[in-house]
């Protein structure tokens, strides 16, 4: 571990029981994305319009009013581009065209038009690390066509001195299990693929590739999108080869015995290279230039990286250069995946971001996405409201993965029905550790046939079992529901100056109790209290803030809370049921 991160952890451990204060960094002139509520759509599973059991663009367009009603500002669409769908759109064969299953460019334009009418922003997924092996670029590179010779990372491999046989250039492993090198008979060379065999890595040391991918950004900006979620940044660059053109092997990491698993080896040479940070700064320039030339709103870059803080934070930019607006903060996922849910683990996840973030940047909070088990399944169903409250009361922006607002849980998918390449590259005994199908089941609109996702008779993945009780239709008509709580939270964030500009104080009060307080001069203070434990507790909030003695008004309670909205409670003896979460105000 880096000495720096060890030190940070040590400091965090010492500081963990004292309240943490963060002054607001945002000025009065905030740009739209700094207070935005983002919503991730996984197009294949959101809404099907033509009965083929696969979600599509017209389906999304027909549900934009739902997003408007939720109060979200911007929707990020997972890839909608032409693709053989080996990795369900993350293997793109034409970056300038729409996947026919999802619709046409005309449908896309209609989607953008409707979104504009509703004042919703659309953000696309930009997948820079690789293309599909069916891409014309790759086909040309295989044939060494002029201009495409070095579009991908090709290598002769090496000859084993004992066996005399040709072997891959290094021991590098792909994310989806197994070697990251594949032999190509036609070209008589190996190519690098940090993901599936069908996802060859583009060669960013080739200026033609860099320019081509900037064209992709400009093309979709011209179509009216408001920015990009940039996919899989850590493996964008690999280390430079040595003078003989050889790459170094990675060493055994010691974190797993499974030799096919990417974690079996370190990723020192194949992830987190300095050139990757610079590339993001270049993309930022593309976006800013576009705005300078054509006017309009700013467009944003959201960066996918599960890298350590020392690397991730550099994406924000430095003193002289602007970088990504929002490198995703996955700490609420990763810290709790390792350690489980508790007040102190939540605090650790928050500290890890806020204490490492450069001054003046906008924080963000993420509970889930299409690669991680659904929030309600991972944290426990009883914590979904508390976690939704947390990400919306904390400063900055948050990103909702479709279904988190209604508390959707994972589907159960057998080995036979498994389609995710990560799952398929394993075996029936271990596939559940790898497959991402459970978090990708169709969105639950109603309790009726196929959850209202499609009028057809099949769905591309089976539905999750609980769709009859967890769905939009039911939650809109129920008196209290996760969905109603979510909507109240978004509305509060949109209306509250305190949440938009206030300072933040948070503390683990005991093993189970976590408190966040947002304050702003001349505005109402907002307090969030969560009981992560399974026994009832009485909390004295004056312990947390000695000024907190006046009664507090209840604004929003978690679904099973028996407290009444609009009632005042004594902060010196606030009772909390197991898993209860409350948003209160000093008003
Ligand atoms: C990102 C995506 C994931 C995809 C991978 C390869 O991690 O979120 O779904 O499989 O990149 O593009
Ligand atoms: Mg369809």
Query: What's the 89 CA to ligand 1 centre distance in angstroms?
Result: 9
Residues 6+ apart with CB under 8 A from 429: none
What does the angle CA 41 – CA 44 – CA 46 come to, to the nearest 5 degrees? 50
Please give the Cα distance from 501 to 312 (Å, whole number). 24
182 catalytic per annotation: no
Region 255-281: mean pLDDT is 98
Where residue 528 falls (left for φ over 0; alpha for ψ -120 to 50; beta otherwise) is: beta
Full DSSP string of 492-519: HHHH-HHHHH-EEEEEE-SSSEEEEEEE
Which H or E run contains 38? strand 37-41
For residue 90, the ligand 1 atom closest to its alpha carbon is 12
Residue 475 has pLDDT above 90, yes or no: yes
| pLDDT score at 539 | 96
117 catalytic per annotation: no
Check: CB of residue 415 under 8 Å from CB of residue 431: yes
Query: What's the 59 CA to ligand 2 centre distance in angstroms?
Result: 8
Residue 2 has pLDDT above 80, yes or no: no
User: Could you give the dihedral angle defined by the CA atoms of residues 303, 304, 309 and 311, in that order, rounded to the nearest 10 degrees?
Assistant: -70
For residue 436, the ligand 1 atom closest to its alpha carbon is 9
Chain centroid to Cα 74, Å, comes to: 14
Query: What's the 127 CA to ligand 2 centre distance in angstroms?
Result: 23
| pLDDT score at 23 | 80
Please give the Cα distance from 409 to 468 (Å, whole number). 12
| pLDDT score at 108 | 99
Spell out the CATH class of 502-585: mainly beta
Helices (H), 435-580: 472-477, 482-495, 497-501
Query: What's the 248 CA to ligand 2 centre distance in angstroms?
Result: 46
Please give the Cα distance from 502 to 518 (Å, whole number). 6
| pLDDT score at 17 | 62
For the chain, the domains span 32-128+208-244+270-485, 130-201+245-269, 502-585
Verdict on whether the full-model pTM lies above 0.85:
yes
Query: Counting runs of H as helices and runs of E as strands, what totals does the chain give?
Result: 17, 24
Determine the length of the chain.
587
Residue 40 has pLDDT above 70, yes or no: yes
* Residue range 541-557, pLDDT digits in tens: 999 999 888 999 999 99
Please give the Cα distance from 419 to 440 (Å, whole number). 11
Nearest CA to ligand 1 atom 4: 90
Please give the Cα distance from 36 to 493 (Å, whole number). 9
Ligand 1, CB within 6 Å, residue ranges:
87, 90, 127, 195, 231-232, 304, 370-371
Find the catalytic residue in 304, 348, 351, 466.
304
Check: CB of residue 473 under 8 Å from CB of residue 459: no
* Residue range 112-125, pLDDT digits in tens: 999 999 999 999 99
* Residue range 319-356, pLDDT digits in tens: 999 999 999 999 999 999 999 999 999 999 999 999 99
Q: Please identify which residue in the block is written with the tokens 């803030």.
A: 545
Question: According to the CATH classification, is domain 32-128+208-244+270-485 in 3.20.20.80?
Answer: yes
Instruction: Please state the CATH superfamily assignment of the domain spanning residues 130-201+245-269 in this structure.
Output: Oligo-1,6-glucosidase; Domain 2 (3.90.400.10)
* Residue range 156-211, pLDDT digits in tens: 999 999 999 999 999 999 999 999 999 999 999 999 999 999 999 999 999 999 99
Buried b (16+ CB within 10 A) or exposed e, 5-37: eeebeeeeeeeeeeebebeebbeeeeeebbbbb
Find the catalytic residue in 107, 182, 231, 382.
231
Nearest CA to ligand 1 atom 1: 232
Query: What's the 63 CA to ligand 2 centre distance in angstroms?
Result: 14
Please give the Cα distance from 387 to 84 (Å, whole number). 36
Which among 89, 175, 200, 231 is the best mutation to test ligand 1's pocket, defined by most ligand atoms within 8 Å of the CB? 231
List of E strands, 333-455: 364-366, 397-401
| pLDDT score at 4 | 52
């Amino acid at each position: 571990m880096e000495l720096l991160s060890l030190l940070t952890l040590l400091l965090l451990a010492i500081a963990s029981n004292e309240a943490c204060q963060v002054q607001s960094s945002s000025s009065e002139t905030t740009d739209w994305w700094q207070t935005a509520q983002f919503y991730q759509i996984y197009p294949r599973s959101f809404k099907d319009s033509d009965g083929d059991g696969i979600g599509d663009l017209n389906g999304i367009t027909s549900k934009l009013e739902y997003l408007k009603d939720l109060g979200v500002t911007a929707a990020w669409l997972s890839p909608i581009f032409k693709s053989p769908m080996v990795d369900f759109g993350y293997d793109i064969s034409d970056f300038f065209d729409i996947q026919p299953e999802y619709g046409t460019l005309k449908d896309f334009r209609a989607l953008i038009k409707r979104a504009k009418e509703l004042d919703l922003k659309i953000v696309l997924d930009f997948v820079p690390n690789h293309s599909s092996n069916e891409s014309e670029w790759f086909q040309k590179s295989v044939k060494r066509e002029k201009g495409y010779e070095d579009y991908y990372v090709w290598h002769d491999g090496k000859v084993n001195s004992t066996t005399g046989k040709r072997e891959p250039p290094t021991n590098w492993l792909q994310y989806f299990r197994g070697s990251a090198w594949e032999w190509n008979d036609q070209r008589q060379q190996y190519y690098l693929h940090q993901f599936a065999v069908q996802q060859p890595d583009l060669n960013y040391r080739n200026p033609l590739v860099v320019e081509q991918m900037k064209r992709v950004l400009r093309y979709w900006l011209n179509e009216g999108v408001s920015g990009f979620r940039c996919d899989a940044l850590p493996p964008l660059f690999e280390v430079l080869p040595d003078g003989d053109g050889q790459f170094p092997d990675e060493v055994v990491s010691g974190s797993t015995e499974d030799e096919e698993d990417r974690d079996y080896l370190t990723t020192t040479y194949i992830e987190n290279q300095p050139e990757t940070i610079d590339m993001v700064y270049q993309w930022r320039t593309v976006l800013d230039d576009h705005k300078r030339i054509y006017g309009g709103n700013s467009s944003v870059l959201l960066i996918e990286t599960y890298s350590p803080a020392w690397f991730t934070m550099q994406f924000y930019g430095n003193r002289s250069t602007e970088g990504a607006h929002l490198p995703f903060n996955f700490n609420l996922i990763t810290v709790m995946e390792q350690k489980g849910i508790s007040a102190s683990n939540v605090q650790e996840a928050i500290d890890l971001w806020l204490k490492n973030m450069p001054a003046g940047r906008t924080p963000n909070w993420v509970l889930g996405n299409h690669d991680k088990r659904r929030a309600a399944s991972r944290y426990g169903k009883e914590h979904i409201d508390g976690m939704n409250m947390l990400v919306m009361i904390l400063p900055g922006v948050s990103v909702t993965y479709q279904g988190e607002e209604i508390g959707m849980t994972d589907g159960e998918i057998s080995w036979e029905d498994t389609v995710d390449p990560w799952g398929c590259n394993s075996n029936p005994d271990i596939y559940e550790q790898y497959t991402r199908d459970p978090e990708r089941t169709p969105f639950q609109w109603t309790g009726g046939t196929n959850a209202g996702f499609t009028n057809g008779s099949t769905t591309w993945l089976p539905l999750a079992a609980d769709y009859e009780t967890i769905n939009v239709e039911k939650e809109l008509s129920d008196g209290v529901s996760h969905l109603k709580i979510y909507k109240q939270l978004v509305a509060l964030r949109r209306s509250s100056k305190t949440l938009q500009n206030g300072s933040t104080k948070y503390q683990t009060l005991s093993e189970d109790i976590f408190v966040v307080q947002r304050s702003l001069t001349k505005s109402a203070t907002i307090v969030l209290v969560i009981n992560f434990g399974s026994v009832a507790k009485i909390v004295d909030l004056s312990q947390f803030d000695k000024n907190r003695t006046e009664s507090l008004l209840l604004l929003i309670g978690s679904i099973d809370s028996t407290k009444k909205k609009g009632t005042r409670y004594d902060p010196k003896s606030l009772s909390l049921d197991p898993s209860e979460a409350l948003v209160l105000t000093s008003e």
